[in-house]
Structure 1
Amino acid sequence: MGAIAARPGEESDGGAPEVSTDEAAEAVAPPAEVVEPAAPGPAADDAGEAEAGPSEADRAAAQAAADLAAVKQWAAERAAAERAAAEAAAEAAAAQAAAEDAELERARAEQAAADLAAVREWAAQRAAAEQAAEEQAAADRAAAEEQAATDRAAAEAARAEADRAAAEQAEAEQRAAEQVAADRAAAERAAQQEEQEQQEAAERAQRQLEQQEAAATAQRAAAQQAAERADVQRAQEEWAAGRHSAVRAPVGDEQRPERPRPTPRARGASAAPATGRRRAAEPPPDAGTAPRPAGRRRRTALVAALLALVLVVAAGVLVTLRLTDRSGSTVAADAEQVPDAVLPELSDPGPVLTALGTDAPLPDPTALAGVLSPLLAAPALGGGLSAQVVDVATGQVLFDRDAADPSTPASTAKLLTGLAVLTTLDPTDTLSTSVVAGSSPGQVVLVGGGDPTLSTTDPSTDYPGAATVADLAAQVTQALGGQPVTGVVVDNSLFTGPLTASGWGADDAPSSYAAPVTATAVDGARVAPGESQRSGSPGTDAGRALAAALGAPDVPVDLGQAPAGARTLGTVESAPVDRLVEEALNASDNLLAESLGRQVALARGLPASFDGAADAITAALTDAGLDTTGLDLHDASGLSQDDRVPAHLLVDVVRAAADGSADHADGLLSGLPVAGYDGTLAERVVAGGQAGPGSVRAKTGTLLGTNDLAGTVLTADGRLLAFAVMADGTVGSLTAGEGSLDVVADALAGCGCR
């Protein structure tokens, strides 16, 4: 029992598992595995006693050996079972692992298959998408080609329509030109006829005057003959008296008192000159008879000659008076003096144009609306139209259609700029352009003062009274004293901000009507004097023009700034600003208007930019007492599509200039184009219209889809009205919109409307 049994799962040296005593005891504990020895019966006792059988100790040892053998057997069986179980467990674990590996592989395979299926599905979808995209692209290309074909067809149709419209416009313009030529020819014929009639009247008056003078001469000659006959009669009497006293007195000159001189007459009349001494009367051959006829004829001829001389002298005095200026002497240096002539008093001539009468009847608003409303409904004017008509003298509103609604002003905005300039600046002010010394020897700096009218020709072909580059260059050459020019710098720093305004189109600057706004330019930034196309680099062009005028056309021309305190080499001045305002309005010069707007900004301490000019113009109108509600400016010329101005403000500006309530603003009216005569209205006249010559004076405004007209009109009854018509939704051709506005203005001028 002292042997140590092996642990389950472990092997002894002999290969069998060893089991401990306690374990063995535990192993044999179950009754099922140990067979209890049978209790000794009587037969056994008898045998033991007979044979003197084994002792109790032997039996216990045998039992123990049997138990040990049983335990060993059980342990061996248990070990075998455990080994079998372990092997089974290992096999099961291996099988489980194999199963798990197989499941994992299966899962991986399924996942791979699923991924492959997903990839294949994605690839299929991608291929389908690409195919759809290709099909869509092909459809888009086809649609684009179809649209392009449609656009080309539309463009060709539009071009054809434009060509047709241009042809119609050209034809209309030709007809208008022919009509204008016919009107001018008729006017010339009328003027010639009137001149001829005046000449004939003058000739008749001259003949009447000559007849009157001949009659007066005949009367004077008759009076002279009567006087001569009286003289002869007296001479005869004296001769007779002298014959009786001849024996008492020696024959000699007779002392007689002189005949008094005739009283001088007014200019144009004449009298026979007094001789102071007469010839002694010869004794007639027969006392009491008349003198010889030959003597009377000679004396009559002498009197007539003297009378003619006096008339010539009087006519010479009259001509001399007419040719003499008022400030100098009234007698020409070589004029023949006529001491006895009595000249009439001369007074200042009366005005050629008199003021409008105050008694002209005022149009009736209801009648006026009846005339204008159908005309304002013209299809070419489209929708969104606003208008107002005001009597200048009284300020009474005679017609109003949405006049408070802001509309696109186009170039009628120049009316606002013009009034701001004339009321902010002195009308006699000028714009200066200077040249100063540069930072290196021979370098000169052209300093722009905002005068775009500086001319490269002398005189200017575009701006009357403009300063010239030649004059400026002559001053610079003299100041340099022979020093060669090595370079030209152009200083545009007076103006700030962008060179073009918001609301300007990409093709507006440069174009035939606008250019980038710089402080320095020549010829209105035109590419050449007299041409309409403007340049995209006005400052550089001005620098090159100065270099050429200085005889150094090849020197470098750069943009920069003048050195501080630089010596001035030359300065020129523009025409007065009131003349510049007239030019900007009459020709609708956008660059000139923008430059003038910046001058208003500078005078008000604001930046010389588009925004500064817009703010300054608005402030100037407010200071002038005008209502600027709804006014929104982005430039000074009206070229911006973003500008908004109510029609009543345009009318208020025109009326303020017309009635004198705005100081120094008369230049605004004198700058307005006259219909059928000059400016942008030169070719705009209604054939066979009602308006009289010069009765419509207005500023035009034209942008794409916008046609405006604002100014003054003189009615058929002589009443002066201010008006504005703004149509910023016009349709059709440009001439259709302009023609519709011209008809409105013509009807307004020809309407008594009472």
Structure 2
Amino acid sequence: MPSHHSERGRAWPYVLLAVVLVLTGGGVAAYSLGHLDRWVCDDGSCETREADPASVAVTPAEPEAAPVLAAAGSRPLDAARVERAIEPLLRRKELGRHVGFAASDLASGEPVWSSGTGTFVPASTLKLFTTLAAMRTLGPEHRFRTTVLRDSTGEQPSATDAAPTTGAPAPGPARLVLVGGGDPYLTASSNAAARTSYPQQASLAQLARRTAQALKADGVNEVSLGYDSSLFTGPAVNSTWEPGYIASFVTSPVSALWVDQGRDGWRRSADPARQAATTFAKQLKARGLTVTGVKSTGRPVESEELAAVSSGTVAQISQSVIEYSDNQAAEVLLRHVAIAQKQPASFEGGVKAVRDVLTDLGVGWDGNRVYDGSGLSRDNRVTLASMLQVVTIGRDLFGRYPVAGFNGSLTSRFTASGTAAGLGAVRAKTGTLTGVHSYAGTTVTRDGTPVGFVIFTDRVPERRTLDARATLDRIAARLSACACATG
């Protein structure tokens, strides 16, 4: 039996080899990182050693959306090939008896092929009308401000304050007015979720903090609070919406002043402006102010601005409206378009303003009947041609569509067989109501031609809802997979 000494004797070369490897590897790593420079260059004979740029990982800049249009020189679409690829799917029974499809060549801007007659219920694809008009009228960088005004028309002593025997009368509460500027995403809290959301949300908490700081700097500790939501006019609820939309909390009454889009917990407030003002009063009290009275007052005749917060940009808001099909924000944008076009800030005024903006851009309006900005109304009717023109003209919306299988309302779509070609290629706004399913967006064919397309179905049997959705995905994927260019 061998001795322990002989075992150790045979093992020491391996131990030595391991030590050498560790020291060598560590030395190479240290040298490559420059850690040895302070030992070998202490005499000043070496310049500071810079890492080879090629060996250093660089944090990339924020990526830009890939261009939707193909490079110059892509071949135009062939109408006959588009028809052969798409027409058989349009006859599928699950789509119902009223189906429309239209496609355009985005490189040339020309319509290529369409199928289907009459007008269609657009559902939420109508949001493309509203957001394109907002982007072109207001500008992508425009923001909406919520302000606090201090009434300077002459503050009177409060009824409970006794006037001093000498000097000026004792001051009463400062009169404040919370003025709604039509920020669709104003929120109550300034928590981390609000700060990191997209678009980043302004908050009443932030506004209350700034207001309290300004008042305390003036030695004011007591205020009366009014609120003003008069920026928007007309009815807050659309007469063509289903009666249950408000009662079942599908959407809120439209207001220029609200927090969390009129939500109070999981419910929606019947009076969003008053709810916002009541929340603001609580936040002022939490910051040491005495608040008396919360009532609708309108804007003061003379005032000074104490504090303000600003929304995200119109471009950011439009992306959220399109990506998540936000009904509330769409109706707010509709009214801002009306204001910019010098129309009443109402459903009717907003629709007229959107029509004027889009027709000026070359969109045909004949046959369209539109009643809101979100597409909630089942009375809305639009033509294939007008929706296709909005898709084709609205290049500033291309990068804001949901991407198939990736985000927004397309996150969980394109999972059925025959839809793989559309994943990551199709970018489209969805539209869904009971019996109504639609797409409006873009893709690129297999041979590199950029395509705008619209699919409308508005008589889908309710029991075939999931089948119809899958078939719409197949149509868009078939267009992506199509070798539909000429030649």
Shorter-chain TM-score: what band? 0.7 to 0.9
Instruction: Judge conservation of contact 2:148–2:178 (CA < 8 Å) in 1.
Output: yes
Report whether the alignment pairs 1:475 with 2:210: yes
* Deviation for aligned residue 1:726: 1.0
Residue equivalent to 2:10: none
Instruction: Judge conservation of contact 2:147–2:307 (CA < 8 Å) in 1.
Output: yes
| Cα deviations by residue, 1:71-97 (Å, 9 ceiling, x for unpaired) | xxxxxxxxxxxxxxxxxxxxxxxxxxx
Alignment of 1:634-649 (within 5 A): 634-649=371-386
| Cα deviations by residue, 1:620-663 (Å, 9 ceiling, x for unpaired) | 001112211112211111111121111111111111123xxxxx
| Cα deviations by residue, 1:411-444 (Å, 9 ceiling, x for unpaired) | 1111001111111112111111111235772442
* Deviation for aligned residue 1:674: 1.1
For 1:677 and 1:310, locate their aligned partners in 2 and report how far apart those are by CA, in whole Å.
56
Report whether the alignment pairs 1:703 with 2:451: no
Report whether the alignment pairs 1:730 with 2:453: no
For 1:428 and 1:656, locate their aligned partners in 2 and report how far apart those are by CA, in whole Å.
20
| Cα deviations by residue, 1:680-713 (Å, 9 ceiling, x for unpaired) | 1111113342425421111111112211110111
Report whether the alignment pairs 1:742 with 2:455: no
| Cα deviations by residue, 1:277-317 (Å, 9 ceiling, x for unpaired) | xxxxxxxxxxxxxxxxxxxxxxxxxxxx89xx999965536
Instruction: Judge conservation of contact 1:690–1:750 (CA < 8 Å) in 2.
Output: no
Cα pair distance change 1:407/1:311, threshold 3 Å: farther
Report whether the alignment pairs 1:579 with 2:316: yes
Instruction: Judge conservation of contact 2:402–2:427 (CA < 8 Å) in 1.
Output: yes
Alignment of 1:180-191 (within 5 A): none
Pick aligned residue for 1:543 from 277, 280, 286: 277
Residue equivalent to 2:188: 456
For 2:207 and 2:63, locate their aligned partners in 1 and report how far apart those are by CA, in whole Å.
43
Instruction: Judge conservation of contact 1:510–1:536 (CA < 8 Å) in 2.
Output: no
* Deviation for aligned residue 1:510: 5.0
Residue equivalent to 2:120: 407
Q: Which sections of structure 1, spanning at least 5 residues, go unmatched?
A: 1-209, 211-267, 269-304, 327-348, 659-665
Which amino acid in 2 is paired with 1:584?
V
Residue equivalent to 2:159: none
Cα pair distance change 1:519/1:352, threshold 3 Å: closer
Cα pair distance change 1:632/1:320, threshold 3 Å: same
Residue equivalent to 1:466: 201
Instruction: Judge conservation of contact 1:389–1:721 (CA < 8 Å) in 2.
Output: yes
Alignment of 1:424-443 (within 5 A): 424-437=137-150, 441-443=173-175
SS at match of 2:443: strand
For 2:184 and 2:59, locate their aligned partners in 1 and report how far apart those are by CA, in whole Å.
41
* Deviation for aligned residue 1:535: 2.9
SS at match of 1:417: helix
Report whether the alignment pairs 1:370 with 2:84: yes
Cα pair distance change 1:543/1:426, threshold 3 Å: same
Normalised to the residue count of structure 1, the TM-score between the two structures is 0.51
Cα pair distance change 1:593/1:352, threshold 3 Å: closer
* Deviation for aligned residue 1:732: 2.5
SS at match of 1:645: coil
Report whether the alignment pairs 1:388 with 2:90: no
Paired residue total: 417
Q: Which sections of structure 2, spanning at least 5 residues, go unmatched?
A: 1-27, 33-39, 157-172
For 2:258 and 2:193, locate their aligned partners in 1 and report how far apart those are by CA, in whole Å.
14
Instruction: Judge conservation of contact 1:384–1:727 (CA < 8 Å) in 2.
Output: yes
* Deviation for aligned residue 1:367: 2.6
Pick aligned residue for 1:446 from 153, 178, 181: 178
Alignment of 1:208-227 (within 5 A): none
The alignment-based identity, stated in percent, is 34
Report whether the alignment pairs 1:416 with 2:129: yes
Alignment of 1:262-411 (within 5 A): 316=51, 318=53, 353=66, 356-402=70-116, 405-411=118-124
Residue equivalent to 1:663: none
Instruction: Judge conservation of contact 1:444–1:485 (CA < 8 Å) in 2.
Output: no
For 1:652 and 1:442, locate their aligned partners in 2 and report how far apart those are by CA, in whole Å.
53
Pick aligned residue for 1:527 from 255, 259, 264: 264
Kindly name which structure, 1 or 2, has the bigger radius of gyration based on alpha carbons: 1
Cα pair distance change 1:485/1:520, threshold 3 Å: farther
| Cα deviations by residue, 1:588-644 (Å, 9 ceiling, x for unpaired) | 111111111111111111100000000000000011122111122111111111211
SS at match of 1:655: helix
Normalised to the residue count of structure 2, the TM-score between the two structures is 0.78
Instruction: Judge conservation of contact 1:686–1:743 (CA < 8 Å) in 2.
Output: no
Cα pair distance change 1:726/1:352, threshold 3 Å: closer
Instruction: Judge conservation of contact 1:460–1:466 (CA < 8 Å) in 2.
Output: no
For 2:462 and 2:408, locate their aligned partners in 1 and report how far apart those are by CA, in whole Å.
24
Pick aligned residue for 1:683 from 409, 412, 437: 412
Cα pair distance change 1:399/1:640, threshold 3 Å: same
SS at match of 1:508: helix
Cα pair distance change 1:318/1:632, threshold 3 Å: same
Q: Which has more strand, going by share of residues?
A: 2
Residue equivalent to 2:20: none
For 2:371 and 2:401, locate their aligned partners in 1 and report how far apart those are by CA, in whole Å.
23
| Cα deviations by residue, 1:383-433 (Å, 9 ceiling, x for unpaired) | 122220111112343321136x32111111110011111111121111111
Which amino acid in 1 is paired with 2:408?
G
